[in-house]
Amino acid sequence: MMIVSPMRLYPFLGLTMLTIIFTALFFPFPYMNTPIDSIALLLFFIVSVLLNAYPIRLKETYVSLVPLVHLFIFLQYGFLIELMVSQISLFLFILFSQYQWKIKHFFFHCLIFWMSLMSALSYYVVEAMFPYTLIGDIPLIPIVAYIATSFFTNHVILNWTLWIRRLPLSTFTWEELRWNVVTHCLAIPISALLIVVYEYGFGLFGALVITIPILIIAYIFKLVNDVEEANQQLKTIHELTSSFTSELNLEKNLDALVQAIQDIQTYDMCYIYRLNEKRQQLDPIRIDVRDTFHRRYATSETLSSDAGIASQVIQKTKPIIINRETELYLAKGRPNINVPIKSLMAVPLKTKEEVVGVIFLAKLKENGFSKKDVTLLEIMAHHAATSIHNAYIYQQTERRALKDELTGLFNYRGFEQRLEKAIEHAQQFEYPLALLILDIDYFKEVNDQFGHLTGNKVITHIATLIQSHVRQEEDVVARYGGEEFTILLPHTSQDTAYGIADRLRVAIQSAPVSVTDDLHSGKEVLIRNTVSIGVAVYPLHADDALSLVRHADRAMYVGAKQRGRNRVAVYEQNEGGTSA
């Protein structure tokens, strides 16, 4: 529900109501002294409704021809009649296109009132100052003032009402401003022509001759725009398909999909989720939010796939479109991203065999999506699903090739890749990079006495302890081989690295692991482990990756293992050679 600040709302309402009363008293009602052609007025009223309902669309720019008709009505019948036609035509348009009346529609009517009032005032003031005419009794300069005021007050008062409603202010592209200026300028000669035709002998028939082509032009623009838009959409889908067939990179595929969606559809938020069948959940793999106002509503949380709109899309493998303000749920028990979404489109990412994900597009306005939009998104999702799924499988396979199956840490190959990148980064930004090599003491005896399954349990136990003592986002932990581990510590000096290594040594010594003695008694036993750790730091002890590993390894064996184990040693270099 829209929240409006009373401190902003009440003064605006009071000012509007007082102005309406003053206006009704100041302007005499036209029926008292102006003859009204009811049939002609009804005709132009119908034209006004139609032009409201079918504005010219140029890509994402909507251009209304309503000012052409409203200026004629104002010049012919006065301000109050023009205001009545404007308000009633807007009311009917909202009535037939919206599900229910809302407070925001009241602001639209207020906007129309202020725009009509300011335009009329500018007309009368300028008319008093410049009573010149161009054709007969048509006051050209006041008409120009009327149109200019209508143009500027439309944008100024629109942003005023948005500010009152705590919504982001409206911004206009050059394309929008250019076409708005053109249509307002067209209103001057066309309205003058309507008056001349209507007043000088042709009457209602002449007005029809001028008015009907206006509607035809609007309709032709609509057809041309639809054809151009369809061609652009086909081109976008073709380019998307081509990019998918040549890529197995998940991020590039997602970039291509989001870009394609942006090219053919406007939205406030786009969510792409991958279905994790093992965990029965939807994992977000891409989120795109259009501006900072909507970004505050975004979330990157994982969704349950057992209920809500997500479940309906997955189970029925069909899209869902909702174009009204309602309680929307993407998943069970969770409101729709805690955001006042009023339009939602959900389309499955479906391969030939199964649903592998869901695309959600959301808008903060009603009636934001059409059946045509759903069809286009379905076509893109169909082409995207297989490529994204294959890219994800390929990515997971690559990751598994770099991970140790027992501990989930990087393996030797993964460590080497991370080490090379870490050295390059440290060289580029000139910061220290510490390397710790850790070896479990007397590990062979554990295997011999309790068996390899127990040995594996010890390794996973120590791997968990190591991970709990490092920075999760920055440090790199790997199982280097057998019972050896490596730890990369970026931005870490020798003294800091030594402190981290010693705290880790004490933590491992103080945390025995409970195992079952399957080879002998079958009872639970506690195994206390100790480790020997070698430390080397780039660029203090080495100037490349190979030297850094060799020196940390030597520090561990010579400085820690050979000097009694259960200790930390830092690489040192002396005159007689290298020792630790």
**Catalytically annotated residues:** 483
Copy the structure tokens of residue 379.
């076509």
Residues 304, 306, 312, 314: what is their CA dihedral angle, to the nearest 10 degrees? 80
Q: Residue by residue, what is the 3-state secondary structure of 372-397? A: HHHHHHHHHHHHHHHHHHHHHHHHHH
Q: Give, for 538, the enclosing helix (H) or strand (E).
A: strand 531-538
Q: Token digits for 110?
A: 């207020």
DSSP letter at 340?
-
User: Alpha-carbon distance 72 to 85, whole Å?
Assistant: 12
Cα-flanking dihedrals φ and ψ of residue 125, to 5°?
-65, -50
Q: Say if strands 56-58 and 484-490 run parallel, antiparallel, or are unpaired.
A: unpaired
Nearest C-alpha neighbor of 54 from the set 111, 179, 44, 62: 62
> Residue 5 has what DSSP assignment?
-
Question: Residue 370 CA to chain centroid, in angstroms?
Answer: 20
Spatial CA neighbour of 51 closest among 92, 98, 16: 92
- H or E, element range at 570: strand 568-570
Cα separation, 561 vs 12, whole angstroms: 81
Three-state DSSP class for residue 102: coil
Instruction: Output the DSSP codes for 178-190.
Output: HHHHHHHHHHHHH
| Cα dihedral value 178, 183, 186, 191, nearest 10 | -160
Cα gap 414→423, rounded to integer Å: 14
Strands (E), 46-160: 56-58, 61-63
Do residues 417 and 402 make contact, with C-beta atoms less than 8 angstroms apart?
A: yes
* 491 phi/psi in degrees, rounded to 5: 55, 40
φ, ψ at 414 (rounded to 5°): -65, -40
Comparing CA positions, the residue from 110, 92, 78 lying closest to residue 45 is: 92
CB atoms near residue 421 (< 10 Å): 13
**Residue 262: which of 283, 244, 301, 289 has the closest Cα?**
289
For 486, the token pair is 């490596």
Under a CB-based contact definition with an 8 Å cutoff, are residues 210 and 189 in contact?
A: no
